[in-house]
Amino acid sequence: MTETEYARGLEGVIAAESEICQIDGAAGKLYYRGYSIEDLAQHSSFEETTYLLLYEKLPSEPELKDFTQRMRQSRDLSPVILNMIRDFPPAGSPMELLQSVISYLSSSVEHRIRHSADCNCRRTLHQVAQMSTVIATYQRFKEDKDYVESRPDLSQGANFLYQLRGEEPPAEEGRILDTCLLLHAEHGFNASTFTARVVASTYSTCYCSISAAIGALAGFLHGGANERVMNTVDEIGTKENIESWLDKALDEHRKVMGMGHRVYKAKDPRATVMEGMLEELSQKKGDRRLYEFLKHLEGSFRARMEQKGKPIYPNVDFFSGAVYTMLGIPRYLFTPLFAAARSSGWLAHILEQRKDNRIFRPKALFAGPTPRPYVPIEKRPSS
């Protein structure tokens, strides 16, 4: 590129090396530190996966026990944070609240930023563990219910449902939500993860870096796709309307939410896991309507696209909104839950950034006015 050419949005530009996440878009494979997402979904938990992301290896039994204990002890909210949630304006977005709470929380942790690359990041883990508590509590206060203290015997996923509902969820529901968190824990570079690394590159605290990343995920060009899949389901209404809705949508060149992926050219492996969990949940709850609706929509859409020679597959968002809906989670909490899950990936990227840091400071190409004299206000043209 010449000195005045550049890639808008830094598209295609390498910003850093990373060892955390490998995406094989052509084969439809995703690995966290070398372990396939299918293996992790089947055998691991959100807590163990967080350990893997942060410590670069699977934990031994005592390591996992200690780590899990630390995370679970960090789940509960202080009275000040409870007030922030209680007083939050009803018209506000829970993402704004989450962003605000995480930087506020930074003040109650001892940071050793200047002295080590680790900087205490992995010690208390409020910045990961409290996220889902904030979300559950936001919802409870919205419903005029009380704060529910966390249960240290429950996994991160099961505990979220417990704090949301005020009663212990059936075991399979807790496991399914925990797996949802695991599936969303990491996905390489994107605007929010990049934001976390840019902020961390100044040696700001990991809390403040994660807070900034939440701000990026809140933008509707980034988060919110699974919410929009569910809006599409509403818009279509009944299974009988799918064909005519698709006719119109394709005529109008509208995007079908949850279909296709910038990176995956084969099926998003997370979508396969998510679909299995949706089917399981539908079976347990004896209500297969949403599952069958989505399978019908997927089938019709893919058949049409294949006819056009454009094979296209569902991504993780296509099924996740339905899973959350069947677990009783309102739509506006989907992106906050995504943030709660991704917090562990963000933290892994922050730690990696610090290991071999260089402050992010790209250039701007100046394209503005040339120097001009200041004009006193009385001599300016009226608008």
Residues in 353-372 at the binding interface with its own copies, rule: CB under 8 A: 358-372
The interface with its own copies within residues 164-193 (CB under 8 A) comprises 188-192
Does 58 bind its own copies (CB under 8 A)? Our answer is: yes
Smaller CB separation from its own copies, 143 or 221: 221
How far apart are the C-alpha atoms of 325 and 290, rounded to whole Å? 9
Residue 340 tokens read as: 């709660």
Residues 2-31 that bind its own copies (CB under 8 A): 4-6, 8-22, 29, 31
Site for its own copies in 191-220 (CB under 8 A): 191-192, 194-195, 198-205, 207-209, 211-213, 215-220
DSSP character at residue 106: G
| Entry field: residues in the chain | 383
CB of 15 to its own copies, least distance (A): 4
- The reply to whether 317 belongs to the active site is yes
Question: Least separation, in Å, of the C-beta of 167 and its own copies?
Answer: 30
For residue 248, give every residue at least 6 positions away whose Cβ sits within 8 Å of its Cβ, in sequence order, or none: none
Site for its own copies in 302-321 (CB under 8 A): none
Q: At what angle do helices 316-326 and 171-183 cross, to 10 degrees?
A: 150
- Residues 64 to 123 in contact with its own copies, rule: CB under 8 A: 64, 80, 83-84, 87-89, 91-93, 95-97, 99-101, 103-104, 106-108, 110, 113-114
Answer yes or no: 261 catalytic.
yes
Best CA proximity match to 47, nearest among 76, 20, 67 = 67
Q: Tell me how far, at minimum, the Cβ of 248 lies from its own copies, in Å.
A: 22
Select which of 126, 184, 187, 261 is catalytic.
Answer: 261
3-state SS class at 7: coil
Binding of residue 299 to its own copies (CB under 8 A): no
Are 197 and 16 contacting, i.e. CB atoms less than 8 angstroms apart? yes
Alpha carbon distance 159, 24 (integer Å)? 33
Structure tokens that stand for 19 in this block: 């060892």
Sole residue written with tokens 């992106």: 335
User: At closest approach, how far in Å is the CB of 347 from its own copies?
Assistant: 14
* Number of residues located near its own copies, criterion CB under 8 A: 114
**Cβ-based neighbours of 105, under 8 Å, separated by 6 or more:** 81, 126, 127, 130, 207
Binding of residue 43 to its own copies (CB under 8 A)? yes
State which residue, 93 or 272, has the beta carbon closest to its own copies.
93
Active site residues: 261, 317
